[in-house]
Every structure is written in C-alpha cells, then in structure tokens.
Chain A
C-alpha cells in the first residue's frame, strides 16, 4: 500500500471519528423528544416544572439509563448543558403555582408546544407568549410592560456583545427629543426599566456629572465579563439654546444641575476668561476616561458678525465693557489698538491707499495711532512733511491753496496735523503772524477755553486776548 493511500485512509478514519464525537455531543445537547414521542405521554414523566432549580426541572442521567442500559437500548450519555445566555427572569414553579387553580392553568405545553402539535414536539418558549398575559393590552411590549417582570438587569446577564447591540430599541427612544426631554424623567422615576438594556456605562458615556446623579448610581455597572458594544457620546442641542441672544442670556438660566449633564468647565473656558472659581466649580472638570462633555468652538456672538463690527464696535464696548471682558482679556484690545506689528487690521497695502480713510474719517486713526508720533514721523521721512513755507508747495492741485485751505483745514484738520506742526499754522494764525488771521470758528467760546487752559492762548496771543479783544474770523 502506497504511502499516499495510507494517508488518505488515515484522514478518512480521523474524519469519521470526529463526526462520531460531534454526533454524540449533539445528542447530549438536544434531547430527541420526537423519537420518544410514544414513550412519554406526560412531560412530568421526566420534568419537574415546578422545581425552583433549573437542574431539578430536567431528568437525571440515570433516568435515561433505565432503558439505555446497553441491553435494551444502546447506552447514551446525556448531561444537562448550561442554557444559552439570556436576560430573562422566569420562574417555572411560580407560574405553575400561580395558575394552578385557574380554569386554564399554565402547563408545559402552554409555552413549549405550538398548538395543535403533539406534546413531544417541544420548542423553546418565545417572548411573545409572555406578553400575551403580562402586557396583553400593550401596543409595544418594550414600552408598555414592566420590563423587570420578565427581564433581569443587563449587568446580571452574560449576553454577548452582538446580542446586547441587537436588543430591541423601544419606539419612544426614536422620538425626537427623547434624549433631551424624556429619558431623564423616565430614569428619574425608576431605573429598573433602563437597567434591562443599559448598564451604568451607557449613562456615564455622556453625563459628565454622572457621579452626582442619583438615578445613574442606581443603574448597575457592567461586570468585567460583559463586553459592551462601543458607543460615542451624543449631545443634541436643546431648544433652549436656539434662542436669540442665548450667548448673552445663558448665564442667567445656567444652573449646575442642568448644564453639568453635558458641559464640563471646558465648555465655559472655551469662551470665558477668568471666571470666578465659584462658578466654575459648579461644573465638573474634563477627566480622562469620563464622558468628554460637549466640545464647543469659540464662536463670536452674532453682534461680532456685523459687516462693520471691526470699525464700529466702540459704542458696544464702551456701553458694556463688562460684556467684552467675559471673553476677552485686556490684551485683546491691545492686539489691534496698539498698532500691532502684524497686518492684523489693515491690509498689507494700506499704507498706499490710506488717504481716503484718513481724510474721510472712515477709520478713526487716532483711536490707535498718535498722529504726531506715528503719522507725522512717517510722513516726514517720506518727504510729505511741511517745510513751513507760505507757498503752495505740496498742494500742487491748488495754485491758490493758501487762500482756499481754510475750508479743507476745518474739515480735515486731523489730516493736516499729520504733516503740519502747530508753528506752521501760527505763521498766519497768530497775533504775531504775518496776517493775524483768527482761526476761531463761529461758535468758539473763548472765555470757556481760557478758563481751562490759558497757557495755550498765549501761543498765539500776546497778553490776555479777552481783555484785548479777539479778532473775528
């Protein structure tokens, strides 16, 4: 016999042996009720349905040996195998006892035989049978029945991960607003129902304040043997957040009890700076392994989205600076207003085209720049500085500029001062100047000004101008 044939024969024998072992095991697991149909007219011939212990409800192996003794029938080996994991809470004896005196007491076939099959055509009981009595008027047994009547908490089961993930999802869980509006109230009135499908880990995956919520503490935690399916924290936005000015008013309605369900201190400090510790302490801090809490992005209030906010936020800030300081430190103002070194506020070519903004006052230069130090210094170095001569000079478009400049100067005086010094103007606008032209306007209150700063009057006037009389413009 060739070596190949020996190998093939050995493989066949091995396969047959394996098949025999498997067949034996199958016989051990599933008792062939149908083959014994004629022998056992009553279930109680082998089973004790009222027994409290599961093992006692099944026949002992020596009962099989009465026939399967190797003489009458071949020997068999049958042992009670553990039941597949489930989350049921069912007491056979209790059910028998409770219905024993009723017209239709519960029998084995009530649940394990599908009518009109013979008694030995047994099947596993189905949950629908339970509901026929325990929730017979229910539209949905996951909603209208008392879960704990038939089920044990998930934490007490050994359900595999796939079965946990496939547990039926009650219809109300799908309703809009369930998480925000309903689930808390349901849990607050008792967590027994929740615990049938959930362990505490499901709560703590979202609730950042889980440790301080009594209802969450009532939900049993998953033992190590239970491999829970993965789920991510989910934080739907409450309707209360979608109102006008919520970013301004949330401080009034914020309460540690409500906010702390979803928000950690990081939610506050995303925007706020320097909040008092007493406020922050009301919320838990983000911690490794705990629920992440809502992740916020620092988004500017809608007032900041106004097209001209960058240029026009002054009145807002002036009227309510405290509101600004909720989110900004004092440095934030200086980032722009202290003439930053980076092109933050002005475009890169602003130097080339700033004339219109400066003349027109569209941007109020002096809010950030000192005209003398910043503007005049640059103009001087760029050749735009006035030389103090009474000629048209730089104003080349205006041959009679000297005669015409008054109106332009009154309107654009700030622009004038970016090139001209005070002494340039005093060549004419002074009692000591060439033409002694009064620069004062129609509504100039000389006495009022003199009372506040008489020294500057003497820049143009010799002596007391009010006593000497002021020339009209």
Chain B
C-alpha cells in the first residue's frame, strides 16, 4: 500500500506522508503482595515495611497488604501511518483526504495501548469545494469548541458571503478519541454500553466581522441509532480577533444542554510590548470541567472544575536568545462533600521558566523548569536539550531531565533523572530518519516508592513525504 498509493496518485497532485515507527517502552508494573503483620513497623506516617513501603493491615488480619514493583516488562510497538490529501481528480474542486494507521505489537510481554487494534482508518473522505459550498463525504471529523468529533457521514458547508460560513453535518458517530463506533471499540470495556451505533448531528455558523476576527457558534448532539436516548447534547461559542499593535484575543465556552451546566471556557489575550516586539505577554483565564457522555454514570456525579488564571511571557533580547516564563494560579470549585479530618487543598499553582539559546549556527540549547503544586499530584521538573545541527542533513540532540513527583492520594513519590540521545537525518527530499534512546533512573533517597521508575525508552521512525501541492508547476 505504501508503495502503490503515492505512485498512483502523484500525477494528480498529492501531498502526503508515510511514517513507519517503532517504539520500545520499558515499564515496571506494580503488583499486590502481602507481608506478615509481625514484620510491619509503625512510624509517624503509618504502617510500613522495614524498608519504608506503606502497607494496609485489615483489622484482625495477620497479613498486611502492599504494592511493590513487579519485574521489568517491555513493549515494542510498531505503527505505520499513511496520510495524504489528493487534489485534481478530474473534477474542479474535488479532493480526497486519507489517514490510515496500522499497528502491531512486535514483542515484549506488555501490550502497549491500542497496539492490539491492527488497523484504523482515521480519515477517509472525499471533498468537493466549489468556493461557495463545500461537501465532504466519508469518515471525517469536525473540529470546534466541543473538541474533535469523528463520524462517517456528510458535511455541507456554505459560504454565501465572505463573512459568513454555515455548516451542517451528520452521520454515524465514532467514539471520542477513537476512530470506530462505540459499540465496536468499547464493547466489553464498559458497562451500560448499548450494542448499537449512534448518530451525530450538528451545525455551526462562523461569522467574520473583520479580517482576522471570527465568531463561531456550534450545536451538536449524538443519539443512539434506535433514538432511545441522547449521548451528548452540547453547544459552544468561540471567537478570535486580531487587533492593532499585534494584540490578539481568543476565547471559547461550551454548555452542556443535557445536564444544563457550563463546561469548559477560556479566554486568552496576547500582546507585544515595545516597538521591537521583543517582549510578548499572554494572559489567559480558563474554567475546566471534564465532560462525560450521557451513557456513562460519570456525568451524573456532578464533577466540579477549576478556574485558572495564567500569565505567560516570552522575551527575545537578541535573535539568539529566547527566554520564557509563566505563572498560573488555580482554584477548584466547591465539591459539596463532607470533610473528614481535613479539607483537600483547593488551590494550585504552577510556575515555569525556560530559555532557548542558539549558541552558534549549529548549536542550540533549550532548558526549562516547571513547578506544579496542587490537587492530586505535585511535580518539580527540569529539562535540558542540546541540539547540534551537524551539517545540512544530520541533527543530533542530547537531552536530560530530572523530576520529583509526589502523588497525593497514595504514598508515591520519586526523584528521577534521565537522559538520552536522539538524531534526525534527512535522507533526501522529504525522507528522513529519526530515532533516539533514553534511560531514566529513580533515586529512592531512603524512601522507596511503590513503583519503580527505572525505565528506558527508544524509538525509531522513517518518515517519507511524497507528492506535492498541485499548485506547483503547470495548472491544468
């Protein structure tokens, strides 16, 4: 297929990529184990084994339970992606877009998620664009304030005037984040999932009051094929605007019509300071609450979200140096639950800083640090990467990282340092090979974590770009 597809359609105008990837993932799962009560010690933070692993001792039991790191496992995941868009198929405005993925588990006792799904057609649609109207038929996805929604069906977009675009779409709904109907891909994984497909229906209107500004509204619902119940019913509004002096604004909000409550919302303002635009500031506000489809019970649990404000800045004092920084503060909503012993932390902060330095035309260094403290887990991490452009074709990157992570709801913490080497080699044209290998080592520092984060990662990829835009060269 790889060999045949590009050749067959090149003359018609094709732009595509074929990527073959192999990944090696080393993991240390955890397993439940027991230890005699007599061997358990008690310290200030609770019961633990002699070497500090926390244990749970049921009342009256002679054995205590614990989690410990199991033996090393690994996975080798192979993936073949082919994606292309072909134009000029003999009819003016006709094009075809395809994205295919084949996967295989090529070894190891650990099956990496999704590698047991051998093939996915993520996109496969034909498009007829006649300027005032555009029709797509096939497997496609709609993108909007409600995220990605995949479906097998038809979409029709009309642009009656330059400042207005209206779209309607519908078809067989695909599972969110997957490329298959729910009843096929999730069957057996979840309770309460009907064995029937679902339909997706939606529409959107985009109003462009001025060049660089747009407001879009969208309504979308999904319903089981027997029309017995809704899966989702949501609406969203988004806007973006570019203003004078480089100021830009983007905002979005969505509303869950099924539960009658607001979902996610965000607004970001970005502006340069100074005539030379060396300093850019970005301020954003965000409300986040997870969304669950109606066929699960999770949405009925009334998840609460958080409000977050964040400031980001990038400063380029010279063409070779870019400094970036960010600070965010978050507050969680009221959970309306009973407080036992002590309330949960309801605020969180995140700090980040980084710098990119092009030390020489062939050398660059990128470093960053992030400190995140809040609900569920805390992280302090530092990353550094040195990139050497060894000629026009070869680039070598050495990277290192160190992080300390503390998990709030279980005794889990660890400090991990790691590093590795990667390379990118442009074979010719748009054909390139890349790969890398990283090793991570946990420093237990006197207190073992439940899991063992001593792990390795490796990957290699062959990326072949083929075809070219039909606009190049002679126009038929």
Contacts and interface: CB of A to CB of B under 8 A. Distances in A.
A411 to B, nearest CB: 5
A252 B211 contact: yes
Contacts of A377: 113-114
Contact of A249 (B83, B114, B189, B211): B211
B359 interface: no
A356 interface: yes
Nearest to A473: B336
A318 interface: yes
A452 interface: yes
10 contacts: A329-B97, A334-B123, A335-B83, A370-B186, A400-B340, A439-B302, A453-B258, A455-B192, A455-B229, A459-B191
Interface in A305-326: 305-308, 312, 314-323
A351 interface: yes
A382 B46 CA distance: 25
Given A322-B206, A356-B377, A382-B30, A362 B457 contact: no
B395 interface: no
B387 interface: no
Contacts of B111: 381
A374 B303 contact: no
A446 to B, nearest CB: 9
Given A330-B85, A331-B99, A349 B471 contact: no
Interface stretch (A1-9, A12-20, A113-121, A401-409): A401-409
B212 interface: yes
Interface string A263-289: 001101100111111001100011000
B54 A444 contact: no
Nearest to A378: B113
A274 B300 contact: no
B321 interface: no
Chain A interface bracket (under 10, 10 to 19, 20 to 34, 35 or more): 35 or more
A16 B69 CA distance: 105
Given A331-B17, A355-B405, A406-B338, A319 B93 contact: no
B29 A374 contact: no
Contacts of A425: 297, 301
Given A343-B459, A440-B302, A331 B83 contact: yes
Given A274-B95, A341-B79, A306 B410 contact: no
Contacts of A394: 67, 410
Interface string A396-431: 111111011011111111110100011101100100
B312 A308 contact: yes
Contacts of B333: 411
B324 A307 contact: yes
Contacts of B30: 382-384
Interface string B175-208: 1111100000110011110100000000000101
Contacts of B299: 449
A360 interface: yes
Nearest to B167: A321
A318 to B, nearest CB: 4
A450 B65 CA distance: 42
Contact of B31 (A273, A383, A400, A401): A383
Nearest to B148: A337
Interface in A350-387: 351-353, 355-356, 358-362, 364, 366-370, 372-378, 381-384, 387
B118 interface: no
Nearest to B383: A347
4 closest pairs, A vs B, by CB? A441-B302, A359-B376, A341-B79, A406-B337
B410 A349 contact: no
A413 B181 CA distance: 24
A247 B266 CA distance: 25
Given A248-B212, A331-B99, A374-B114, A396 B401 contact: no
Contact of B186 (A272, A331, A373, A439): A373
B341 A404 contact: yes
B143 A321 contact: yes
B440 A352 contact: yes
B340 to A, nearest CB: 5
A348 interface: yes
B212 A318 contact: no
A460 interface: yes
B191 A421 contact: yes
A362 B291 CA distance: 15
A226 B233 CA distance: 76
Given A381-B110, A417-B298, A373 B246 contact: no
Contacts of A367: 147-148, 177
Given A276-B93, A349-B438, A473-B336, A317 B143 contact: yes
Interface in B251-270: 251-252, 258-261, 264, 266, 268, 270
Nearest to B259: A449
B189 to A, nearest CB: 5
A265 B13 CA distance: 14
B143 A448 contact: no
A377 to B, nearest CB: 5
A93 interface: no
A395 interface: yes
B418 interface: yes
Interface in B136-173: 140-141, 143-145, 147-148, 165
Interface string B225-249: 0001111010010111010111010
Given A245-B212, A341-B19, A362-B372, 7 more contacts: A319-B145, A342-B459, A349-B416, A367-B177, A453-B230, A453-B295, A456-B295
A445 interface: yes
Interface in B324-376: 324, 326, 330, 332-333, 335-341, 343-344, 348, 350, 372, 374-376
B297 A404 contact: no
Nearest to A331: B83
A84 to B, nearest CB: 47
B70 interface: yes
Contacts of A187: none
B176 A366 contact: yes
A339 interface: yes
Contacts of B218: 318
A231 to B, nearest CB: 26
B219 interface: no
B330 A319 contact: no
Nearest to A323: B214
A277 B56 contact: no
B411 interface: yes
B285 to A, nearest CB: 11
A444 to B, nearest CB: 5
Contacts of A410: 301-304, 335-337
Best-surrounded residue of A353, A399, A423 (most CB of chain B within 10 A): A353
A407 B335 contact: yes
Nearest to B245: A244
A385 to B, nearest CB: 10
A407 B335 CA distance: 6
Contacts of B239: 315, 319
